[in-house]
Structure 1
Amino acid sequence: MTTMAPETDVRRHELAAFLRSRRERITPEQVGLPRGARRRTPGLRREEVASLAAVGVTWYTWLEQAREIQVSPQVLDAIARALLLDSSERTHLFSLAGASDPAPNADCPSVTPSLRLMLEQLDPIPACVMNSRYDILAYNVTYGRLLCDMDALSPADRNCMWLAFCNEEFRSSLVDITEANRTMAAKFRASMASHLAEPAWKALLKRLETTSPEFREVWAKHEIVDQGSRVKYIRNPHVGLMHLEHTNLWLGPSSGPRLVSYVPLNADSRMRLEQLYALAPVAA
């Protein structure tokens, strides 16, 4: 006679396996954590996920061990964000936990294949996908050469706040770097209001304050600016000066992941973008 495991037991074990699989696929750099020289665990450690989600390490470990514990929708929401789940994965998480999603339309930071295809087809218009922390999640060929050599950077350094205050190539491309950085810091402060307790945000803020005296001075002014379109002059070392409009296309219902594009405002700028795109090496 075969005995069937109760449905709740099956759900708990499926949930545990799902959490482990998602934790192991995320690199520390994706969530603003240092890799360290002696890391053996593929992806994130359990204690890192617990810290990112602001839950106890023991409690999260029990969850991955399929123990019979109660989990609230709010905690599941925090775990979903810590593990960078996309909308389908988020729905699956709440389904396995037998809970109702408190934010079913929550932003997801993942970049889908169709979104990557859109970025490619926008060339030579520079475009990227960026989250509210200014991490650059994906970009097309022209954006990768617009402000600096994006391909040469480590994933941890592909963050516009870090580049604007700490990368000389990026800084030299912005004609009015002082005003641009004042505006960026003000936008970053406005965005951070919803993420004050999140380790990845705090780690980036600490890194900026430790490295850049300019950032410390600007940050101390407590200025706030909302996200919106901006006209920029960018001087690229390969093709020269361009007059572009920076535009955000939101990928969710609130200020979070967005498609950022730089549209040329005159024929000369358009021609220079085409030249910049043509300079990219041909893929083998």
Structure 2
Amino acid sequence: MGKSTGKGKRLPRGVYEQELVRLQTELVKLQEWVRVEGARVAVVFEGRDAAGKGGTIKRVTEHLNPRVARIVALPAPTDRERTQWYFQRYVEHLPAAGEIVLFDRSWYNRAGVERVMGFCTDDEYRRFLRQCPVFERLLVEDGLLLRKYWFSVSAEEQQRRLRARLDDPMRRWKLSPMDLESVTRWEDYSRAKDEMFQHTDISEAPWYVVESEDKRRARINMIAHLLSTIPYREVELPSLRLPSRPAPQGYERPPRDTHVPVHDRSAELTA
């Protein structure tokens, strides 16, 4: 972990927006290929708090069909789920044919926050490190396209972003006491990440590191990489034509005063 090795200054907004539109157009093509071919794609997003995972996921899904591409961000496990095999509650969220699933954090919670914060035992942690590569190999062997991204950010940039959230009423909800405690446990999380990589960076499902000091570069780089790793093609869509509106057949709309309209707040803005 440590400082980002991203090159150059912040990507100019114009360059960023132009390339983002191009990549999002390709993501729509990928989506249609996944739907038609019955492919199964699972993308894992992991990394430090405030490393840019959520913003990247938002850009990935912005123009996709939510019936095809969905986000999985699970809450803390229930009492019942705590008694299950650890991977069990994640299995039910894996994609079926024709689906893309984006995991906003995943089963790697056990190797990160659960390990650092003491939410799992040493035995549970060691069992995870043994079972995780086996679990992922089984998924890949079964035909799942699994991609794992780690968003890397420096301690200084993380603290700047957390402070900005703390002062922003629109983003204050993104912070929890545990997020703030991650600042004081930086080295603990670094050691946990290093050990996690040592055991789970396997050839069948390698980790890809996204340098996220500049969020714009991180989004562009992650999406471009994802597209480059999947052999999708543009699917020919059926030709559609907007039909002509039929002639009126005597329908009369009920008077407007029979319904309750919403208040016209917009009119007040231009008065």
TM-score range, shorter chain: under 0.3
- Larger Rg over CA atoms: 2
Higher relative contact order (CA 8 A, sep 6+): 2
